[in-house]
Structure 1
Amino acid sequence: MERLVGEIKLRDVIDLRSNAEVALEGPGPLTRVPEVGIHHLTLFAEGGRYTDVEADTGDVGNTRIEGDRVLPWQGRRENDLAEVRVLGFYYAYLRDRPDSILAALRVLAQGEGAAIVHCAAGKDRTGVVSALALSVAGVTREAIVADYVATGDRLEAILGRLRRSDTYRADMDSRPAESHMPRPEFMENFLRVLDYRHQGPLGWLGEHGWTDEDATALRSRLLD
């Protein structure tokens, strides 16, 4: 905490988890630090029960969550279709929550200190937002894909942490570790879809209200 807030000057946390994940996992210690702004920006079309594990069996508070929207990685059976599914999940974030994605990027653009972007594993939702931010900064496709794939270097530790949580354990234990790996073709094809449908990441952002001023501010922050 001292290192993050005092030394690194962390000032913003962008939390991409679903409402139910936040409710189930409880507040983290950074929520008690007045210098740090917590920005909860779910990438799921919220409507129902838990989040990544048990999405179709009840309520969390007054929130109802639809399992197939909150648990986009459930139900994977055929390994040869993994790429199609992952691409669908990633594009669904853009389709369902462009408001959250633009808000996340604007926090990064307008902040005055360091920022953390996270979801549960820091791979899928975080990977999509990070790829868009790096695209705005003019980073090469090769570097964006490499950044995404680098999450796999810590996969064992990430899965171990998630298995210690009742919220995620069942999903982690239901599939082999290899199925969680961030494969380069996932991000490559996601970006190709944006090229084909929207003239690239910047085209998609522009369609949803991202301005030249936003882009200039984010580039300045990331390249400073």
Structure 2
Amino acid sequence: MSRPPRSPLALSALANFRDLGGIPVAGGTVRAGVVFRSDDVSTAHADEGERLRARGLRTVIDLRSAEEAAHTGRGVLDGDDIDYHHLPLTTTVAAPVGAGEGLRALTTPAAVGEWYAALAIGDARTIVTGFEAVASSPGPVLFHCAAGKDRTGVFAAGLLTALGAEQEAIVADYALTDAVMPAILARLEPFFASLLGEHHDPWDVESSGAILAAPAESMATMLRVLDEQHGGFLGVLNRGGLTDELTGRLRDRLVHAP
């Protein structure tokens, strides 16, 4: 069945944008104003693009599926002044999951954390490719997915792991998203309704549990699973191609020593 014609994009302010600056890592903290995480910038207002360009943004890493990226394009950050890297961490629409079956399978923090661990393992090489884009960027970098929670959360956790952050700091950064989930869902509902058409099930937040929230336990579970079964996130990243040379370049760019 063919999908109905795409409706005009509903543009709105970013709900889950933040600077990783100040997070403690080995030998210091993440340098402010250099690496940002966000929800979907492709559906942001034009003034968001102007604000980010004013902060010197030069690189965008898009972690969404090919289907999502094709549906909205690059939005306000489209242009020759921004280096764009499409590095999907899922092959189809991911999170918040557009279809009901996906939601029902990921209602607990344990289930979400195990899904995150599977993403980290299956896409370690893609994550490391993203690290190369971060290390090579001539200016600040922004990475994002749809909600800025799941795929973005896994990428952020990997980057912080590579920089030597303690797990408590990684979990704390992830959990900051929980407070803005209502605003994130309000932004995403029109997008998923447009993308999925008649196949979109309106989200029931109360019954959906952890997949439509960001409890600390979800990220803690991912890290625990990787530690107990896969030699830790750093081991996963090393097997995905993370080298001492790349780690050093990341640290040179991102770490502010006291």
TM class, shorter-chain normalised? 0.7 to 0.9
Match of 1:17 in 2: 64
Give the alignment partner of residue 73 of structure 2, picking from 10, 14, 26: 26
Pair 73,91 (structure 1): closer, same or farther in 2 beyond 3 Å: farther
CA contact (8 A) 1:25 1:167 kept: no
Report the Cα distance in structure 1 between the residues aligned to 2:65 and 2:100, rounded to whole angstroms.
14
For 1:24, the aligned partner's letter is H
CA contact (8 A) 1:11 1:36 kept: yes
CA contact (8 A) 2:99 2:201 kept: no
CA contact (8 A) 2:110 2:221 kept: no
- 1:131 matched to 2:157? The reply is yes
Match of 1:75 in 2: 102
Pair 87,137 (structure 1): closer, same or farther in 2 beyond 3 Å: same
- 1:158 matched to 2:193? The reply is no
Match of 2:52 in 1: 4
For 1:75, the aligned partner's letter is G
CA positional deviation for 1:93? 1.5
The percentage of counterpart residues that share the same residue type is 38
Pair 11,110 (structure 1): closer, same or farther in 2 beyond 3 Å: same
RMSD: 2.6
Could you state the TM-score of these two structures normalised by the residue count of structure 1? 0.80
Report the Cα distance in structure 1 between the residues aligned to 2:100 and 2:138, rounded to whole angstroms.
35
Q: Does 1 or 2 have the higher relative contact order (CA < 8 Å, sep 6+)?
A: 2
Report the Cα distance in structure 1 between the residues aligned to 2:159 and 2:84, rounded to whole angstroms.
19
CA positional deviation for 1:11? 0.6
Unaligned runs of 5+ in 1: 54-69
Pair 172,72 (structure 1): closer, same or farther in 2 beyond 3 Å: closer
Unaligned runs of 5+ in 2: 1-48
Q: Look up the SS of the partner of 1:120 in the other structure.
A: coil
For 1:28, the aligned partner's letter is G
**Per-residue Cα deviation, 1:99-148 (whole angstroms, up to 9, x for no partner):** 21111111112212111110000000000000111111122211111100
Report the Cα distance in structure 1 between the residues aligned to 2:231 and 2:100, rounded to whole angstroms.
27
Match of 1:91 in 2: 117
CA positional deviation for 1:3? 2.6
CA positional deviation for 1:71? 6.6
